[in-house]
Amino acid sequence: MDIPKTYDPKQAEERHYANWESQGCFAPEINRDPNAPVYSIVIPPPNVTGSLHMGHALQHTLMDVLTRFKRMSGHRTLWVPGEDHAGISTQIVVERELKREGTSRHELGREKFLERVWQWRHESGSRIMQQMRREGASVDWSRQRFTMDEGLSRAVNEFFVRCYEEGLIYHGEGMINWCPRDQTALSDLEVDKEAQAGKLYYLQYPVKGSDRRVTVATTRPETMLGDTAVAVNPTDERYLDLVGATLLLPLVGREITVVADVFVDPLFGTGAVKVTPAHDPNDYAIGARHELPLVKVIDQHARMTAGAGAEFEGLDRYEARERVVAKFEELGLLEKVVDYEFSISKCGRCRTVVEPLISLQWFCRQSELARRPLDLMRERREPRFVPENPYEKVYTNWLENLHDWTLSRQLWWGHRIPAWYTEDGRTIVARSEAEARERAGTDRLTQDPDVLDTWFSSALWPISTLGWPDETPDLEMFYPTSVLITARDIIFLWVSRMMMTGVKFTGERAFDDVFITGTIFDKHGQRMSKSKNNGVDPLEIFDKYGVDATRLVLASIETTDTRWNENQVESYRNFANKIWNAARFCLMNSEGARVGQGFAERRADWALHDRWIVSRLNRTARIVGEAIEKYQFHLAVQTLYHFFWDDFCDWYIELTKSEVTGAEASPAREAARSRVLTVLEQALRLLHPFMPFITEELWQMLPGIGDEQLHPAYAAAPLTIMLAAYPQAREELIDERAEGEMQAIIELVSRVRNIRSEMNIKPGEAVPLVVGAPDAEARAVFEAGAQQIARLVRASSISITETLDAPRASARAVLGGGAELAVPLEGLIDFAQERERLRKEEEKLTKEAERLRGQLANENFVARAPAEKVAELRQRMTDIEQRTSALRQSMEAFAE
């Protein structure tokens, strides 16, 4: 067999994914066990306009690890892929295209424009779905969904209609965030607060029938044109006599009153607040409490309206601001202007400063929908957040403080609001136009022109992708989903809303667990972003180091924020190569061997290194299995890395090499080869969820692979490692004694290697080795392993006796259990140097002995610490004493 020395990831990546996909390995139907436990995940649907970034790759890796692990463990697994239509984002992308072509959506008209968007979606809108194949994501493509699919749109209408009928959705005037550039309403979650250096203007309003003036402070002087009151705190003695008084609004001449409202903070500014109910959310609330009139002075283009007066009409809001301030100054009513930092709301999409406006929109009363999810959290702590802190609290606090959700968007791309208006002014909300006509008793209907917030359909994602509102077998089988893996910035926009709708329509949580990933920053700790152009493209990393290596890095990130570190990928690329070469070695020596064979019936007949590696393997399977269940991906990766590299490669392969590479075919050689292959095959299975490609590539090459490796649930399925049974730890094979004995051999070998290195013995030069072990069992272990030890340390001979019997001119070392070793170095040894080496060793031991002695002499410790802890320390003390005394004897040999 001719296997290259270096692993080429691309080659394997190209082949296997297509095979898995075409053979239907990703679909839950591949599982033939009717009683199989179910595991399901819905993907956070990426925006159809997006391209794969590290955050996606991170989430997808974790979802794939879980899905593959559960699938191999015999679960009926489903991971649903799909995309979000991403209302504004997509519309902007297509509008930009139109602009390049010299046209616009308005020229095209609604129908043509939508056709154009669909065309765009089909031609270039599924990039991420294609990129996911590269990642190895084992999603069920037969169930791929798009939020604008017919079925999902039906779910949207059903959701809307039911909520409307229950009064949870209503149509009315309300204070909303308006983006003057995108020309649409936005929900509170779609605007970002940003710190802004600005000014605070102190304006004076004359009191009618008096010389007195009331000074108000504002950051937005232009809105004074729409003021309909000034508010003060009812307890503020400065203004007590003015409550109810009439003020003359400068520039406008309108008479407005002074009202008392607890909202006003007497300590801020002047303690008097101008109230513009039509253009500020807080003022709107004050206005409602005091039944103040609404005067609209700013329009949807952020320009002043006729209501602002002829002098200002048509001015941009910022021009108007300057003009107003100038006027106040002229009139001597501008008290002062001070620098002031405040926060400003910007459109999450285009960064334009949003304008709070009163507008006729559709709203959803979310607080009603939040009630049952809150109960679920309080009563059953569902869903379970990972990490629990701070997200459980963040989620709960959010649900407890919900405002109404602005649903309608003045866009064309999205789910059209299922509301129709009759000519006589009635509103009909229905699942379809046909239903609306029937209900209205007329065909003369006009549908509401607006579409729904893109998050409205996202809120239904777990149920709509599974078939809701129909009672489908998928919904029955896969809901509630097992886990949601997502980024923290959409907990409110998405996670909490999925819980609200899921609970409302099914009575059950949308997912058992919610795993919030960490954030990947660039190497300077900056957030990766398009504008900063500091993003690391996952596909470039895949090209450079392979998908498997990248996945190991991503899986290790877990929930903590991390700076991107390419060295880490390189080290896992090296790990992949290590796996490749270990397998290469096994395959080069596989003639006559088969996976699954080579281990004798009776374990008592196994050699120490076989008992040891099987013990390590099972221990690894236990730790890894438990770690994945607990979302401790980093622990799982570390454990696998060290098992494979340290235990399997550095020790097991080296220990068995002479047997495995024997020149003559023999039953013993073939059995040894089979054992190595068997351990390798199990290791590949353990690694597969993290490294799907290299493990499949190698697994397919192993001799003896067949149905018996597959999990019973996949009995007749194609032979692929992704359907092999995930190794379960067999506790009876975890052998503490074998591990202890092996540890003694490892220590012996290490000490000799240390001497060789320190004494500058040439690697090729063989030296004799003398071992003295007072303990008979230890002696037996060393004797049994003598040949292997000799190979590992390049010993020309090994002599093992009860007491050390070595020439004076030897380098020495002590081992556990009072054993010691010597490497005779006639003519080569520098006595002074060796004395110094041993003295340092003794110093270390003495230091530790002192600490231990102190601890054991402490009556409080002995009395209060757990008995086993005390026993453990005593055991260590004994060992150190033995070592020290052996060491002292060695040193005597060098006494001058």
Chain residues 214-233 in contact with RNA, contact rule CB under 7 A: 216-220
Q: How far apart are CA 367 and CA 373, in angstroms?
A: 10
Site for RNA in 726-745 (CB under 7 A): none
State in angstroms the smallest separation of the CB of 337 from RNA: 11
891 pairs with which residues across the strands? none
Should residue 69 be labelled a site residue for RNA when binding is judged by CB under 7 A? no
Residue in the block written with tokens 């203004």: 239
Pairing of strands 76-80, 38-42: parallel
Q: In whole angstroms, how far apart are CA 811 and each of 369, 821, 828, 879, 890?
A: 78, 8, 10, 21, 9
Should residue 243 be labelled a site residue for RNA when binding is judged by CB under 7 A? no
Angle, alpha carbons 470-483-624 (nearest 5°): 140
- Cβ neighbors of 854 (< 8 A, separation 6 or more) are none
Give 164 or 651: the residue with its C-beta nearer to RNA. Answer: 651
**Dihedral (C-alpha) 366, 367, 371, 376: value to the nearest 10 degrees?**
60
Written as one letter, the residue type at 685 is: R
Should residue 866 be labelled a site residue for RNA when binding is judged by CB under 7 A? yes
CB neighbours of residue 338 within 10 Å: 10
Give 200 or 719: the residue with its C-beta nearer to RNA. Answer: 200
State in angstroms the smallest separation of the CB of 563 from RNA: 4
Rounded to whole angstroms, the maximal C-alpha distance in the chain is 118
Give 246 or 560: the residue with its C-beta nearer to RNA. Answer: 560
State in angstroms the smallest separation of the CB of 654 from RNA: 6
Can you tell me which of 756, 812, 837, 883 binds RNA, judged by CB under 7 A?
756
Alpha-carbon 533 to chain mean position:
22
Residue 817 tokens read as 């259990």
Can you tell me which of 729, 865, 877, 891 binds RNA, judged by CB under 7 A?
865
Should residue 655 be labelled a site residue for RNA when binding is judged by CB under 7 A? no
Site for RNA in 506-545 (CB under 7 A): 521, 523
Reading phi first (left if > 0) and then psi (alpha if -120 to 50, else beta), residue 507 is in left
Residue 596 tokens read as 């699954």
Give 350 or 588: the residue with its C-beta nearer to RNA. Answer: 588
Q: How far apart are CA 654 and CA 330, in angstroms?
A: 93
Can you tell me which of 90, 568, 620, 695 binds RNA, judged by CB under 7 A?
568
Q: How far apart are CA 502 and CA 496, in angstroms?
A: 10
Should residue 147 be labelled a site residue for RNA when binding is judged by CB under 7 A? no
Q: Taken in order 550, 556, 560, 563, is the CA torsion positive or negative?
A: negative
User: Do 25 and 79 touch, CB atoms closer than 8 A?
Assistant: no
Backbone φ and ψ for 230, nearest 5 degrees, come out as: -125, 135
How many CA atoms lie less than 13 Å away from 398 in the CB half-sphere?
19
Can you tell me which of 172, 293, 390, 449 binds RNA, judged by CB under 7 A?
390
How big is the chain, counted in residues?
Answer: 896
Query: Quick one: which of 444, 482, 497 has its CA closest to 159?
Result: 497
Residue 621 tokens read as 């399977």
Can you tell me which of 381, 808, 869, 874 binds RNA, judged by CB under 7 A?
869
Backbone φ and ψ for 803, nearest 5 degrees, come out as: -115, 150
State in angstroms the smallest separation of the CB of 275 from RNA: 9
- Give the binding range for RNA (CB under 7 A) out of 50-58, 306-314, 387-395, 673-681: 387-395
Give 297 or 429: the residue with its C-beta nearer to RNA. Answer: 297
- Give the binding range for RNA (CB under 7 A) out of 76-84, 103-111, 355-363, 755-763: 755-763
Should residue 766 be labelled a site residue for RNA when binding is judged by CB under 7 A? no
- Give the binding range for RNA (CB under 7 A) out of 250-258, 330-338, 461-469, 630-638: 630-638
State in angstroms the smallest separation of the CB of 878 from RNA: 13
Can you tell me which of 248, 358, 374, 635 binds RNA, judged by CB under 7 A?
635
Backbone φ and ψ for 352, nearest 5 degrees, come out as: -70, 145
Site for RNA in 873-892 (CB under 7 A): 876
Site for RNA in 306-325 (CB under 7 A): none
Give 40 or 223: the residue with its C-beta nearer to RNA. Answer: 223
Give 408 or 556: the residue with its C-beta nearer to RNA. Answer: 556
Should residue 22 be labelled a site residue for RNA when binding is judged by CB under 7 A? no
State in angstroms the smallest separation of the CB of 578 from RNA: 5
Can you tell me which of 851, 874, 875, 888 binds RNA, judged by CB under 7 A?
851
Give 630 or 839: the residue with its C-beta nearer to RNA. Answer: 630
Segment (H or E) for 742: helix 736-758
Runs of H (alpha helix) within 304-460: 317-330, 366-380, 388-400, 433-440, 454-458
> What DSSP state is assigned to residue 294?
P
Should residue 97 be labelled a site residue for RNA when binding is judged by CB under 7 A? no
Give 71 or 756: the residue with its C-beta nearer to RNA. Answer: 756
State in angstroms the smallest separation of the CB of 433 from RNA: 38
Can you tell me which of 342, 421, 505, 599 binds RNA, judged by CB under 7 A?
342
Site for RNA in 166-225 (CB under 7 A): 188, 193, 200, 216-220
Can you tell me which of 91, 464, 465, 562 binds RNA, judged by CB under 7 A?
562
Should residue 582 be labelled a site residue for RNA when binding is judged by CB under 7 A? yes
Alpha-carbon 109 to chain mean position:
41
353 pairs with which residues across the strands? 346
- Give the binding range for RNA (CB under 7 A) out of 42-50, 328-336, 484-492, 597-605: 484-492
DSSP string covering 145-180: EETTSHHHHHHHHHHHHHHHHTTSEEEEEEEEEEET
State in angstroms the smallest separation of the CB of 668 from RNA: 18
Should residue 816 be labelled a site residue for RNA when binding is judged by CB under 7 A? no
State in angstroms the smallest separation of the CB of 354 from RNA: 12
State in angstroms the smallest separation of the CB of 557 from RNA: 8
Q: In whole angstroms, how far apart are CA 137 and each of 10, 141, 550, 551, 627?
A: 16, 10, 13, 11, 21
Number of residues in contact with RNA, rule: CB under 7 A?
90
Query: Quick one: which of 636, 878, 619, 595 has its CA closest to 742?
Result: 619
State in angstroms the smallest separation of the CB of 341 from RNA: 7
DSSP string covering 98-148: HHHTT--HHHH-HHHHHHHHHHHHHHHTTHHHHHHHHHT----GGG-EETT
State in angstroms the smallest separation of the CB of 200 from RNA: 6
Q: How far apart are CA 56 and CA 79, in angstroms?
A: 15
Give 94 or 298: the residue with its C-beta nearer to RNA. Answer: 298
Should residue 570 be labelled a site residue for RNA when binding is judged by CB under 7 A? yes
- Give the binding range for RNA (CB under 7 A) out of 87-95, 141-149, 292-300, 388-396: 388-396
Should residue 699 be labelled a site residue for RNA when binding is judged by CB under 7 A? no
Site for RNA in 278-297 (CB under 7 A): 280, 282
Should residue 653 be labelled a site residue for RNA when binding is judged by CB under 7 A? yes
State in angstroms the smallest separation of the CB of 781 from RNA: 19
Can you tell me which of 144, 300, 638, 787 binds RNA, judged by CB under 7 A?
638
> What DSSP state is assigned to residue 442?
-
The three-class DSSP label of residue 895 is: coil
State in angstroms the smallest separation of the CB of 299 from RNA: 21
Give 5 or 122: the residue with its C-beta nearer to RNA. Answer: 5
How many CA atoms lie less than 13 Å away from 229 in the CB half-sphere?
28
State in angstroms the smallest separation of the CB of 393 from RNA: 6
